A and B are shown apart, each in its own frame.
Chain A
Amino acid sequence: MSSDLFYALTGASLFTLGLYALIKHAHILRKILAINVMGSGVFLLLVALAAGGQQAFDPVPHAMVITGIVVAISATALALALMLRLREASGLAVLPDTSPEELSEQLPEAPSDVASKNNGKNA
């Protein structure tokens, strides 16, 4: 197994790992981190496979990844700003219909008004 292939497999694993974290974690900041990890995995895969050949390296995937990195930071910045705004409006940095039991488990001392607001929404 060449090391390039190994990097490609690492990329695939990172993608999956990020996907797992994206689904499992409630905090938006963590979800954003997860998305970034997934992105890194995809980029790694994209370039590592290109390096596999014996010929001169293929610059096209490199260009694609640079494009991808810039897109990723744009998305991250927007997501963070949105998160802060959401937090300002709702007092919580989780997605709106996170189930109340999930919230209460994470947040034993959550202010009651927020919890009730969420309950109302779910009902």
Chain B
Amino acid sequence: METLTLLSWAFDVTLGLTLMWLAWRALASEDLFKGIVLFIAFGLLMALAWVRLDAPDIALAEAAIGAGLTGALLLGALAKLEAGAESRSRRSEILPRPADKTKVFSGLLVFLLLALVVMLVYAIVKLPPLASGLSAQVAENITASGVSNPVTATLLNFRAYDTLLEMAVLLLAVLGIRSLAVVQEPRGREPGAVLDMLSHLLVPLLILVSGYLLWVGSYAAGGAFQAGAVLAATGVLLLLTGWLPGAWFVGWPLRFLLIFGLAVFVAVTLVLQLFGASFLEFPPSLAGSLILLIEVAAALSIGVTLTALFLGGRPQPEPPSSGRAEKRNTSGTQPS
């Protein structure tokens, strides 16, 4: 066992140093594209670190959201950035490390940051070791929460209010993005036979996985966010293969899906309040199913929301004159 601890310690140190190195390279690399790729790698290794820290729930979320979707967002943004700058050379677009305003400023900055590190390290090292946290209370109340995965119990019961607000944040991001831009006339790409077949296989499978993650969340790692992220991955994949939301979809159905999770969340708690529960209180007997209901709605909304984030603007419904049926045809299934 001694060698095993040593080995795992060595692994942890390697992982930590690699994380730092990756972060450094991602931020300092001359080429933005390289930086983003390194950042995605950083995210994946972060997921590994979460596993090492006994946090599989976070690992899943990090891999799917932190590395996967954030990476997709970053790459998509970079592509649009470069598409807008065809006249300019790529080198100019990169804008690597700016020149220092003055040496003094730079020195001062480094000094301050060193002070920050010293302060943090000192604070962390001096932290009292007890730090029992809330594990005892969580364990005590877990049966009343309706789920057996303590993380899910915290997210959707003990601190459900945080989650409610967090979904509002997610909605807010979409609202902000929609207010900023209209997605330009999308170039409907032919998926092609191979991609078409693959996506036909993959999409149902991913939806299945998403459902599984959702279901398993009540007792093991997983839950609405992870499931939503997988759904979003499906959506992103579909967008990449040339699928576009149909004109009929981008109006109220899309808006409805975007707010669906939040609306169900609020509706459930309001109905319960009518029956005498306090705000976000789930009666223990019903808690499991209610949480699942909320999670299903939330996962759906999160999936759609994250996909919408990737789309990066509000899709404009086609003017009705330009052949609606045709559009619907290209949007969902293959024209071939």
What is the CA–CA distance of A24 and B27 in the complex, to the nearest angstrom?
10
What is the CA–CA distance of A59 and B50 in the complex, to the nearest angstrom?
13
Q: In the assembled complex, which residues on chain A have CB atoms less than 8 Å from the CB atom of B125?
A: 5
What is the CA–CA distance of A27 and B77 in the complex, to the nearest angstrom?
13
A47 and B117 contact, CB distance less than 8 A:
no
> What 0/1 pattern do residues 1 to 22 of B give for CB contact below 8 A with A?
0000000110011001001100
A27 and B313 contact, CB distance less than 8 A:
no
Q: In the assembled complex, which residues on chain B have CB atoms less than 8 Å from the CB atom of A81?
A: 176-177, 180-181, 312-313
B151 and A71 contact, CB distance less than 8 A:
no
| Given A26-B98, A29-B81, A66-B155, residue A73 in contact with residue B117 (CB < 8 A) | no
B92 and A107 contact, CB distance less than 8 A:
yes
Q: In the assembled complex, which residues on chain A have CB atoms less than 8 Å from the CB atom of B80?
A: 84
Chain A contact patch, size range: 35 or more
Interface stretch among B133-141, B193-201, B237-245, B285-293? B133-141
Whether A115 is near chain B, meaning CB under 8 Å from some CB there, is: no
B151 and A5 contact, CB distance less than 8 A:
no
What is the CA–CA distance of A13 and B121 in the complex, to the nearest angstrom?
9
B309 and A77 contact, CB distance less than 8 A:
yes
What is the CA–CA distance of A10 and B22 in the complex, to the nearest angstrom?
12
Give chain A nearest CB distance to B231 CB in angstroms.
14
Whether B259 is near chain A, meaning CB under 8 Å from some CB there, is: no
Q: In the assembled complex, which residues on chain B have CB atoms less than 8 Å from the CB atom of A80?
A: 73-74, 76-77, 312
Residue of B nearest to A19 (CB): B113
What is the CA–CA distance of A34 and B28 in the complex, to the nearest angstrom?
10
Whether A55 is near chain B, meaning CB under 8 Å from some CB there, is: yes
Residue of B nearest to A26 (CB): B98
B154 and A44 contact, CB distance less than 8 A:
no
Whether B230 is near chain A, meaning CB under 8 Å from some CB there, is: no
24 A/B residue pairs, CB under 8 Å, sorted by A: A6-B12, A10-B19, A14-B20, A16-B120, A21-B27, A21-B28, A49-B127, A52-B129, A52-B131, A53-B129, A53-B131, A58-B132, A63-B154, A64-B159, A65-B58, A66-B57, A67-B166, A69-B58, A81-B313, A84-B77, A101-B99, A102-B98, A107-B95, A109-B88
New A-B contacts (13) at CB < 8 Å, excluding given A65-B61, A81-B177: A16-B116, A24-B98, A24-B109, A45-B124, A49-B124, A55-B136, A58-B134, A66-B155, A69-B66, A74-B172, A75-B173, A106-B96, A106-B98
